[in-house]
């Protein structure tokens, strides 16, 4: 995917980038571009940080017919080197917001840690360092596609997930996801240490999850959508 914008500043920059994002399917991003402040359209499109993106080119725009430079700035062209994790068109904004407002609680021997989407978490960074890992994910097998199943069915699915994670050789800790809707019960989950975001997406999709939570040391918590559904 190619993303375009202008070298501008303040609200003018965000407004122009928003218009460009809308023309490219409401893409959101927050990567670092040389000499440009970190760009973020999350307030409007609920995007996430894309650490896998790299700047592939930065060149001056050509003058228009009047001899003026477009918007008095530079064009930049950014190509996603990895998967762009914007909100999928198949997930409505209400469900997306529910995922973002959920508290993802890790139950570690030293106490509980809470992951929140788009927030840094130095405590979890320290936990990963203790395990000599630099990445992690938070996944459940409960309620695939956010459709409630019976408790026995969910428990069996969770056992299958744990068996698969053990088969792959990952260390994990128990956890639970608690949403903002009190009518939706907490979902038993696991915090997988050392798994990459891409592998976590694939694992989540295998168990019917529309999204998973992923994190790397020093970076914000990501809500990453899968190919399930």
What pLDDT, on a 0 to 100 scale, did the predictor assign at position 72?
Answer: 36
Dump pLDDT digits (tens) for 46-82: 333 333 333 333 333 444 444 444 433 332 222 333 3
CB 131 within 8 A of CB 171: yes
Q: pTM of the entire structure? A: 0.65
d(CA 75, CA 61): 6
Domain ranges of the chain: 2-80, 93-225
Going by C-alpha positions, the residue among 62, 60, 5 that lies closest to residue 31 is 5
Dump pLDDT digits (tens) for 20-37: 444 444 433 343 433 333
Dump pLDDT digits (tens) for 106-135: 999 999 999 999 999 999 999 999 999 999
Cα 104 off chain centre by? 14
191: number of CA atoms within 13 Å, CB side?
Answer: 25
d(CA 225, CA 229): 10
What pLDDT, on a 0 to 100 scale, did the predictor assign at position 9?
Answer: 43
What pLDDT, on a 0 to 100 scale, did the predictor assign at position 34?
Answer: 38
Dump pLDDT digits (tens) for 131-188: 999 999 999 999 999 999 999 999 999 999 999 999 999 999 999 999 999 999 999 9
Going by C-alpha positions, the residue among 4, 217, 189, 219 that lies closest to residue 99 is 189
Predicted confidence (pLDDT) at residue 210 exceeds the cutoff of 70: yes
**Residues constituting the chain:** 229
């Amino acid at each position: 995917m190619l993303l375009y914008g202008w070298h501008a500043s303040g609200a003018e920059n965000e407004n122009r980038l928003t218009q460009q994002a809308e023309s490219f399917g409401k893409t959101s991003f927050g990567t670092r571009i040389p000499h440009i402040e970190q760009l973020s359209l999350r307030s409007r499109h609920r995007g996430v940080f894309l650490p896998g993106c790299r700047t592939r080119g930065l060149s001056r725009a050509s003058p228009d017919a009047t001899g003026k430079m477009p918007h008095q700035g530079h064009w930049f062209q950014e190509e996603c080197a990895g998967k762009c994790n914007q909100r999928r068109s198949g997930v409505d904004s209400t469900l997306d917001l529910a995922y973002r407002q959920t508290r993802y609680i890790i139950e570690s021997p030293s106490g509980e840690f809470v992951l929140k989407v788009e927030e840094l978490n130095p405590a979890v960074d320290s936990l990963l360092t203790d395990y000599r890992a630099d990445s992690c994910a938070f996944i459940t097998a409960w309620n695939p596609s956010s459709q409630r199943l019976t408790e026995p069915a969910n428990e069996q699915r969770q056992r299958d997930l744990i068996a698969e994670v053990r088969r792959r050789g990952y260390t994990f800790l128990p956890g639970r996801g608690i949403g903002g809707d009190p009518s939706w019960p907490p979902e038993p989950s696991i915090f997988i240490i050392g798994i990459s975001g891409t592998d976590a997406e694939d694992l989540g999709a295998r168990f019917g999850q529309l999204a998973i939570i992923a994190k790397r040391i020093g970076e914000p918590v990501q809500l990453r959508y899968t190919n399930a559904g």
